[in-house]
Amino acid sequence: MDFTFTEEQQAAVEAARAVFSGVAPDSVPSPALTPGAVADDFDRALWHKLGDADLLSLPIAPEHGGAGLDAIALCLVLRESAKVLARVPLLESGAAALTLQRYATDELCAEVLPRIGTGDLVVTVAAHGRTGHEPADLAVAAQQEGTEWVLNGVQTAVPWARTADRILLPAHTPDGQAVLALVPRIHPGVTFDDQISTSGEPHAEVRLDSVRISDRETITDPAAWESLRNLLTTGTCALALGLGTRVLAMTSDYTSKREQFGYPVATFQAVACQAADRFIDLRAMEATLWQAAWRLTTEADGPLPLAGDIAVAKIWASEGVRRVVQTAQHLHGGFGADTDYPLHRYHAWAKQLELSLGPAAAHEESLGELLAAHQLS
């Protein structure tokens, strides 16, 4: 098997590293010291740099001004963004672009994709449902009336909802089919209640009261919501991998300089063993992420459906990122809780990612059900 990324994918990584090299994780107030959101908006300056570097248009087809790359390339850039805690809706925008490109009408694609690629149109995604503990498409009801759809319901924890231009959200029809609607932020019947994420970023509860959306802004293909959800999940695993990679590097640097009894603590067996265990976690997170991203991109057959590979990736990402950050805090001693040092920010982001992915035990149960239904030869 060849695990080498293509030249185009590697070029995307290099471009991302160049843009993110100037990003400081502590450019906004600490979430530990801020009663509300750390900032009212995402990092607009960084967003424009990503647009100028053609990184926002990576997954968009050439006919709409993009590079025509895939979900793997998006995950590679997301991995780099998490290393510096980049405060941009890169995951939501990329997942929305890939989904719209595949399932939306040609007219809607021609209208929105070029602007998404340049960063002029910011799209976020509502994917957590009413409470975060139920299928997101069941949180909003969609009723077709002539050439329009009428939406009623609530979506919680929508990132950057107050500052994005459009919100791509799932809903369900009376016969239980899932649809996607691209809802303008400023639209009759759309209201917001502020929420704050664990990482200190502004989210919002989005309420839809008889919101009317045209046919052209609605995707009725039942596969569209599942595809979007898989893209968001795989991208979140990529963020967890990038964050964990950076945290382990910080831990290695600190323990190699911090001395005890006249020796760097990194030379102590107990410290080295813990760091080695976390290195293994990261390698497992990496392998399972790229397996899921590859299946998602190629739609290749496997012994289990795609949901099985995504469940495995979620298990490792959710558990792995938590263990990496906990070990980092332990090996840093009290220094890890110092708000003048960025590790506590990575801890908050890791917890947010873990909560977004959900508990590993639930994914293990889903994986068990798939294994029971698909006997492996």
- Is residue 346 within 8 Å of residue 338, measured between CB atoms? no
Residue 265 per-residue DSSP state: G
* Domain boundaries of the chain, sorted by first residue: 7-121, 136-220, 223-373
**C-alpha to C-alpha distance for 166 and 183, rounded to whole angstroms:** 5
CATH 2.40.110.10 holds for 136-220: yes
**C-alpha to C-alpha distance for 109 and 92, rounded to whole angstroms:** 16
- Three-state secondary structure call for residue 65: coil
* 361: enclosing H helix or E strand: helix 360-373
pLDDT digits (tens, 9 = 90+) for 204-255: 999 999 999 999 999 999 899 999 999 999 999 999 999 999 999 999 999 9
Residue 189 per-residue DSSP state: T
What tokens does 298 get? 């190629």
> Domain 7-121: what homologous superfamily?
Acyl-CoA dehydrogenase/oxidase, N-terminal domain (1.10.540.10)
How high is the pLDDT of residue 2? 67
What tens-digit pLDDT sequence spans the chain (377 residues)? Answer: 567 899 999 999 999 999 999 999 999 999 999 999 999 999 999 999 999 999 999 999 999 999 999 999 999 999 999 999 999 999 999 999 999 999 999 999 999 999 999 999 999 999 999 988 889 999 999 999 999 999 999 999 999 999 999 999 999 999 999 999 999 999 999 999 999 999 999 999 999 999 999 999 999 998 999 999 999 999 999 999 999 999 999 999 999 988 788 888 888 999 999 999 999 999 999 999 999 999 999 999 988 999 999 999 999 999 999 999 999 999 998 788 889 999 999 999 999 999 999 888 888 998 899 899 987 76
- Is residue 183 within 8 Å of residue 211, measured between CB atoms? yes
- Three-state secondary structure call for residue 105: coil
Q: Residue 159 pairs with which residues in a beta bridge?
A: 203
Largest CA distance in the chain: 78
**C-alpha to C-alpha distance for 220 and 103, rounded to whole angstroms:** 8
- Is residue 188 within 8 Å of residue 144, measured between CB atoms? no
Residue 193 per-residue DSSP state: E
How high is the pLDDT of residue 376? 75
How high is the pLDDT of residue 361? 87
> Domain 223-373: what homologous superfamily?
Butyryl-CoA Dehydrogenase, subunit A, domain 3 (1.20.140.10)
What tokens does 107 get? 């007219």
| DSSP-assigned states of every residue in 122-183 | -EEE--STTTSSS-GGGGEEEEEETTEEEEEEEEEEEETTTT-SEEEEEEE-TTS-EEEEEE
**C-alpha to C-alpha distance for 262 and 260, rounded to whole angstroms:** 5
